[in-house]
Amino acid sequence: MLSFGSGQAPRASCRWLFITVILLTFVSWTIARESTSTFGRWETLTPATIKRTEVAAAAIGEKIYLVGGFSELSWYDVLLNIFFKRSDIIATDAVEEYDTILDLWRLRAPLPVPVHHASVASVANRLYVVGGLIQWPPGRSARVFAYDPTANSWSERTPMPTPRGALGLAEYNGKLFAIGGIGTNGNSAAVEMYDPVTDTWMPRATLPTPRDHLAVATSNQRIYAIGGRVGGDFNQNLTSIEAYDPIADRWERVADLPTPRSGIAAGIIDDIIYVVGGESSQTTFDLNHAYFPKTDHWERRASLPTSRHGLGVASVHGRLYALSGGPSPGATYTNVNEVFIPALPALIMSPSAAIVDPLVLRVMSRSGCVRRTTDRV
């Protein structure tokens, strides 16, 4: 929660500073309008503290949490690999918190266990990490961990019935839906619903096209399973999109993704689903496609500045943040932090734009004109 005019600066000075920053921001938007056009634009922000890939990301309020994945090898890890034939990829338990208002990163309490290809979502100011792949001993995880950002602590919850990694996780009406992934016997069609209040799981209608390395997103009262691959093979990338009705417990096919991709990530801005990044056997993608559920069609948007796969994506205040990921197919790493800003007309008209621009809040905060009224995020 933010409070205006309640910092150290005088209220009148804060009022004039706020008006000035708003006017300057509007001018900058007007200048950028031509280049933004209908495609939107990207900006580069402060990079994460750790280079990694196959991460998971979700937002709570104004903060984004980046969890797990593979991290870049240290010199110590390289030496262990040379002399003791250790793995040349290392799963991490790292958790980073990104403040979208202040453009700052900090490390938080690590995951109870290192995990990669996990899924993450938030419900009622809690972060839930579900499933994933375990490096040692190798296997699929069914474990569920809940993170309390106020206490900066993790607790374990009831495990998912079907162990799997590279799955999708979506929130709908306070419930979490774990979808697809790689199970113990190949691709899993399992769809299981988790209730954080009762800490219980319930099976739901199975995914028509079992897949892994997919993206999922909730929009317009539906959950969408997007792209991905078959059998963990990026030579078998998919374009198929299937929409799930949680009320009817039924799946249906919708318009295909324009380009077959896996290792992708998706986020929502005003009911529009943005699908970014991905990989094939030959390359990583800078693609950014927007899906409009109400009209069941796709449109191209401004390309991701840094092509990559295994990235994390989260939406905050009408902006889409694309974090970390691998710039080349396989085990490669970045700590890139790029934000997508939709086209100006949509930005002005959208409900998300009713929140004051993060740049404005950042300037006001550093001037002492705005402060947080609680540590809760």
Q: Which residues contact 180 (CB under 8 A, 6 or more apart)?
A: 164, 167, 168, 187, 188, 189, 190, 191, 207, 210, 211, 212, 214, 225, 228
Q: What percent of the chain has pLDDT over 90?
A: 74
Band (pLDDT 50/70/90 cuts) for residue 329 is very high
Band (pLDDT 50/70/90 cuts) for residue 94 is very high
Q: What is the pLDDT of residue 189?
A: 98
CATH fold for domain 43-342: Neuraminidase (2.120.10)
Cα 131 from chain centre = 16
Q: Which residues contact 328 (CB under 8 A, 6 or more apart)?
A: 284
Q: Which of 306, 317, 288, 338 is nearest to 47 (CA)?
A: 338
* Interatomic CA distance for residues 302 and 221, integer angstroms: 26
Domain ranges for the chain, please list them. Answer: 2-35+357-372, 43-342
Q: Which residue has the higher pLDDT, 10 or 285?
A: 285
Cα 209 from chain centre = 23
Band (pLDDT 50/70/90 cuts) for residue 360 is low
Q: What is the pLDDT of residue 25?
A: 59
* Interatomic CA distance for residues 120 and 265, integer angstroms: 12
Q: Which residue has the higher pLDDT, 82 or 259?
A: 259
User: What is the DSSP annotation of 208-273?
Assistant: SS--BS-EEEEETTEEEEE--EETTEEEEE---EEEEETTTTEEEEEPPPSS--BS-EEEEETTEE
Task: Please give the single-letter amino acid code of residue 121.
Answer: A
Provide the mean pLDDT of the chain. 87
Q: Which range (1-10, 151-160, 179-188, 285-294) has the least confidence?
A: 1-10
* Interatomic CA distance for residues 252 and 229, integer angstroms: 19
Q: pTM here?
A: 0.84
- For 235, counting Cβ atoms within 10 Å of its Cβ (0-12 exposed, 13-18 middle, 19+ buried), the class is exposed
* Interatomic CA distance for residues 167 and 262, integer angstroms: 11
State mean pLDDT over 111-133: 97
Q: What is the pLDDT of residue 354?
A: 41
Q: Which range (1-15, 150-164, 175-189, 257-271) has the least confidence?
A: 1-15
Q: Which residue has the higher pLDDT, 25 or 168?
A: 168
Do 12 and 26 form a contact (C-beta atoms < 8 A)?
no
Band (pLDDT 50/70/90 cuts) for residue 347 is very low
- Could you give the count of Cα atoms lying within 13 Å of 360 in the half-sphere of its Cβ? 23
Q: Is the pLDDT of residue 7 over 60?
A: no
Q: Which residue has the higher pLDDT, 363 or 313?
A: 313
Q: Is the pLDDT of residue 34 over 70?
A: no
Handedness of CA 305, 277, 319, 323 (dihedral sign): negative
Handedness of CA 197, 202, 205, 208 (dihedral sign): positive
Task: Please give the single-letter amino acid code of residue 229.
Answer: R
Handedness of CA 170, 141, 324, 238 (dihedral sign): negative
Element (H, E) at 71: strand 70-71
pLDDT in tens, 37-60: 579 999 999 999 999 999 999 999
Q: Which residues contact 300 (CB under 8 A, 6 or more apart)?
A: 39, 258, 287, 288, 289, 290
